[in-house]
Every structure is written in structure tokens, then in C-alpha cells.
């Protein structure tokens, strides 16, 4: 069982949204999904989006907190955000109907 925390009105997510010129934003750090400009309810209704962010939570778990952050930033630096392999994987997982099994949100 994986418990994921959702935090609304996140300042970090707001900064990320500004950087990526995106209206609403979800940013994962560890097992917390931080939201900007989207409510918890709106986010949870968007299954593809939820699967995408849960994939990032699992990437954190698989690599370890710091190793994942360093590796993610290196990927982004080398290949750009859109071609970062963690983003490619998360985008693929948007179609994974099993990724939310055993996941609960609080
Ligand atoms: Zn992503």
C-alpha cells in the first residue's frame, strides 16, 4: 500500500508552473503531490494526470529521494524537460490502468 499526500496551493508548484509557463501544475517530491491552481478534487478527477504523478512517486521510491532528484535534474539538463526519460516513462504510465492499485490519497 502506498499512501500519497496531496498538498494544495503549493508555492513550489507555483514556481515550477511559472518556469514551465503552465497554468496549473502538479509537482511531486517524495510521496507528496503538490498542486498549484488546481484543487484536490479537480486533480483526482483527471485519471491520466493522477497516473502520471503517481508514476513520479514510484520513481522516487525506486531510486531513492536524493538520487532521483539529481538524476531527474541531469536528465532535464541533458535532454530537456520533454525528453527527460522520467517524463517519457510517466507519460507512458498515463495509460497504465493498474498503476493506481494499492495507492491511497490522504
Ligand atoms: Zn511529469
Separation CA 3–CA 9 (nearest Å)? 20
The answer to whether the beta carbons of residues 16 and 60 sit under 8 Å apart is: no
Q: Tell me the CA–centroid distance for residue 86 and ligand 1, in Å.
A: 7
Confidence (pLDDT) at 20: 87
Domain boundaries, the chain: 2-36+43-99
- In the three-class reduction of DSSP (H, G, I as helix; E, B as strand; rest coil), residue 64 is classed as coil
- Whether the Cβ atoms of residue 2 and residue 103 lie closer than 8 Å to each other: yes
pTM of the complete model: 0.95
Please give the distance, rounded to the nearest whole angstrom, from the Cα atom of residue 19 to the centre of ligand 1. 14
Kindly state the cell numbers that stand for 85: 526519460
Flag residues of the chain having pLDDT under 50: none
Whole-number Å distance, alpha carbon 69 to ligand 1 midpoint, is 13
Which pLDDT value is given to residue 67?
Answer: 98
Ligand 1 centroid to Cα of residue 20, in Å, is: 12
Amino acid at each position: 500500500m502506498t499512501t500519497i499526500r496531496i498538498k494544495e496551493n503549493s508555492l513550489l508548484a507555483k514556481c515550477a508552473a511559472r518556469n514551465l509557463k503552465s497554468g496549473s501544475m502538479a509537482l511531486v517530491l517524495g510521496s507528496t503531490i503538490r498542486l498549484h491552481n488546481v484543487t484536490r478534487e479537480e486533480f483526482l478527477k483527471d485519471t491520466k494526470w493522477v497516473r502520471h504523478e503517481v508514476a513520479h512517486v514510484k520513481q522516487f521510491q525506486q531510486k531513492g529521494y536524493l538520487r532521483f532528484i539529481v538524476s531527474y535534474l541531469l536528465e532535464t539538463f541533458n535532454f530537456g524537460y520533454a525528453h527527460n526519460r522520467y517524463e517519457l516513462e510517466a507519460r507512458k504510465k498515463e495509460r497504465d490502468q493498474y498503476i493506481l492499485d494499492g495507492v491511497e490519497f490522504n
